[in-house]
Amino acid sequence: AEALRRAADAHTGLASGAPSVPQRLGFVYSGQAGQWAGMGVALAEGDALVRGELLAWDRAIATAGGPALMATLAGAGCEEALRDTRFAQLAIAALQAALTGRLDAWGLRAEAVCGHSVGEVSAALASGALTREQAVEVIMARGEALHAHASGGAMYAVRAGAGRVAEALARARRDPDGPGDEVGIAAVNGPEGTVVAGPAPRLEALLPRLADWRVTRLDTDYAFHSPALGPVADQLEKELAHLRPAPGGVPLYSTVTGAQRAGDELTGAHWAANAALPVRFSDAVDAMIDDGVTCFVEIGPHPALLPHVQRLAGARTGEVRVHTVATLRRRQDELPSLYAALGQLWAAGNEVDWAAVYPGPCPMVPLPTYPWQHRRYWISGAPAGAAPGAGAADPQDTADPALDVDAVLDRLVTHLADIMRTDPAVLDPDRSARDLDVDSVSFVELKNRLESDLAAAIPITVLTEGATLREVARTLATAGERRGPTSAQARHALDHLDELSEEELDRLMAALDSEEER
């Protein structure tokens, strides 16, 4: 029974236990990093509130002369459209507004908000400083300006503190063949999380100066927040000069200033600085923690900020514990992901309006009044030519379908990024795992997590012998025939032990014994 419970609890998205101490809830809104083709479409199909908010954004964008939001997200060209910052920023913000509305309807309301780069527009909307129409206006102006002036650039994440990167930049600029003044720090995300940006050829000249640290190119063709974006600031300040934001009701911690800022100060000049200046995410999160925020929820299509939040909390002296919860994950079922976030937030101590989660009376089904006979009559196979439905196999015994390589790759990258304490977006799936900054202990931890996820024995050499992350995922996806009981199967068996035959018990225990031998 204990082995069954361990198998049943292996799913990392599950939350259990009674709520802990009450939390102060903060929402952090991601910028351009985690977007993926089709994001939000499945969630809209299964959730009327989310669908209504996305359609409202679709109408607001169309009224402002922008692209068709929902048709593009659901269309074949979505992936290409998301590479264009003009569409990507709108799509991310619309999804973030829908997620915020869904959490609010469940009784989960932020006591503080902050946003990374364009995520600050979503934070301003959530705080009450901007209306939906104003948010669309700001994002469309921002997207056009950045597309015009930041294209042809590049961005690199550097595993080093901002001070050390600034010193390396200063030394490089003194070199006649160095990067020049157009390359600079674009974001300070954490104690060892710094991003540099600039024109792609100029950045190449800086890379030798950064050889002491792990450097990863980000998946973008734009030089966001680089020093050469003065024209972007000038353009936005003029185009948004008429903007009149409201005071807002929820405290907003700006990643422009690194501190709390009143809603009515989020004028055109603020959004000009937001697009052109470096992102001070580290300072903003530190200020939120100083003011008592203890639970951070990342609102976005994929967690990119939470590893930085965890490192910032871990770098503090004394006992500072914060909870971090992601809402969605790239190419994972969206509604189950959102319900998993709900469970994690409740288990952490946040109040949930359960009447809103489960509205109305639950349907009741009358059961027989006589006792069940604890025997099973499933037939393991059907003879050739049998009528449809005759001799169908037991659903509990049916082999699982082959694992999807993209889903396995996403799990692999997510676990690896968490272990490395880095942004999943910076991990190149076509790069060898052996070339990453991972020690042997971390490889063992990664192996254990993947075995728990996939219920399959994984030799450590699969991860360490030099294959790319994509090749590793392909290898893991073929391990289906070695899989033990899934979480659902283990839970079912645990609840119905007295209904299993001796043969079924022997087969189940043999599978669990093989799990233990790993």
pLDDT tens, 335-369?
Answer: 999 999 999 999 999 999 999 998 888 777 887 77
Give dist(CA 446, CA 425) in Å, integer: 18
Mean per-residue pLDDT, 57-86: 97
Q: What is the distance of C-alpha 347 from the center of its chain?
A: 20
The tokens 């595993």 sit on which residue?
Answer: 159
Give dist(CA 254, CA 251) in Å, integer: 10
Give dist(CA 308, CA 3) in Å, integer: 35
pLDDT of residue 388: 43
Of 449 and 502, more confident = 449
Amino acid 147 reads: H
pTM of the model: 0.73
Enter the CATH code of domain 21-144+229-356: 3.40.366.10
Mean per-residue pLDDT, 314-330: 88
Measured CA to CA in angstroms, residue 226 lies from 93, 181, 237, 274 at distances of 22, 10, 17, 12
Give dist(CA 188, CA 186) in Å, integer: 7
pLDDT tens per residue, range 404-433: 888 888 888 888 888 877 778 778 888 877
Instruction: Examine the pLDDT at 7 and tell me if it is beyond 60.
Output: no
Task: Calculate what percentage of the chain has a pLDDT beyond 70.
Answer: 81
Measured CA to CA in angstroms, residue 492 lies from 126, 480, 497, 502, 517 at distances of 42, 20, 9, 16, 23
Average confidence score pLDDT of the chain: 85
Give dist(CA 222, CA 452) in Å, integer: 38
Dihedrals φ, ψ of 186, to 5°? -100, -30
Q: Which CATH superfamily does the domain covering 153-217 fall into?
A: Malonyl-CoA ACP transacylase, ACP-binding (3.30.70.250)
Of 310 and 484, more confident = 310
Query: Would you say 259 and 288 are in contact if contact means Cβ atoms under 8 Å apart?
Result: no
Instruction: Examine the pLDDT at 516 and tell me if it is beyond 70.
Output: no
CB atoms within 10 A of CB 254: 24
pLDDT of residue 22: 83
Query: Would you say 61 and 69 are in contact if contact means Cβ atoms under 8 Å apart?
Result: yes
Instruction: Examine the pLDDT at 391 and tell me if it is beyond 50.
Output: no
Query: Would you say 253 and 113 are in contact if contact means Cβ atoms under 8 Å apart?
Result: yes
Instruction: Examine the pLDDT at 8 and tell me if it is beyond 50.
Output: no
pLDDT tens per residue, range 157-211: 999 999 999 999 999 998 888 888 899 999 999 999 999 999 999 998 899 999 9
Dihedral (Cα; 53, 58, 62, 64), 10-degree rounding:
50
pLDDT of residue 362: 73
CB atoms within 10 A of CB 407: 16
Fold entry, domain 405-482: 1.10.1200
- Total residue count of the chain as it appears in this document: 518
Give dist(CA 85, CA 90) in Å, integer: 8
Give dist(CA 416, CA 398) in Å, integer: 31
